Amino acid sequence: MIRELLTRERRSLGELDGIAFGAGPGSFTGLRIACGVAQGLALGAGLRVVGVCTLEAMAEAARQRLGATRVVAALDARMGEVYAAHYRHDGERWTAETEPAASKPGAVYVPPGRDWLGVGPGFAAYAELRSRLASALSACRDDLLPSAAAVGALALPRFAAGGSVAASAAAPLYLRNRVALTVAERAAGMRL
């Protein structure tokens, strides 16, 4: 697909200024694949990379499609949790009102006001999240996902400002590093 895109645009990989990728949060396998592909391509072509937070890319997709400027983005983190963050757009850039975090749906911060747009499948997965934030949400689009256009739009000014890193330094954004118990922990009755 990458080769087809480059061919259609009559570009080679080496002609690019850099490579952006969705860094997470998200599924561990998906994040490692995205980061690995970006690293491999960038390393081979001598390019730099920018990782973009998936939740911020969801906010940007909501701005591009719906004109949203206050967004609560939520993904299903599995194990009874969501990845969530609150973003406000000032006309030029997004600011995180709360940093991305993994938490129980009932513990997600409720922002003041009633003009926030809820986006992402975290709202579909957990009715508790939607009801907890009902007083702050003007609407909810649980079908809205990040897009390549949103990742690109967020990465471009970061590249221009020197915010890229060498391919070898690219890394996924993990909000929850522990997803399993050891055999001994399970035998002792521990739970995550």
This model's pTM is above 0.75:
yes
User: Quick check: 178 pLDDT over 80?
Assistant: no
Instruction: Give the tens place of pLDDT for each residue, 160-169.
Output: 999 999 999 9
Instruction: Give the tens place of pLDDT for each residue, 66-97.
Output: 999 999 999 999 989 999 999 999 999 999 99
Is-contact 147 54, C-beta < 8 A?
A: no
Sign of CA dihedral 117, 123, 127, 132: negative
- What is the residue extent of each domain of the chain? 2-169
Instruction: Give the tens place of pLDDT for each residue, 98-139.
Output: 999 999 999 999 999 999 999 999 999 999 999 999 999 999
Both tokens assigned to 180: 């399993």
CATH class of 2-169: alpha beta
Residue 186: predicted pLDDT: 67
Count of C-beta atoms within a 10 Å radius of residue 16: 14
**SS3 letters across 108-177:** CCCCCCCCEEEECCHHHHCHHHHHHCCCCEEEEECCCCCCHHHHHHHHHHHHHCCCCEEHHHCCCCCCCC
User: Quick check: 179 pLDDT over 60?
Assistant: no
Is-contact 31 173, C-beta < 8 A?
A: yes
Both tokens assigned to 147: 């897009």
With a pLDDT cut of 90, the percent of the chain lying above it is 90
Residue holding tokens 């035998």? Answer: 187
Q: Of 160, 146, 178, 31, which Cα lies nearest the Cα of 92?
A: 160
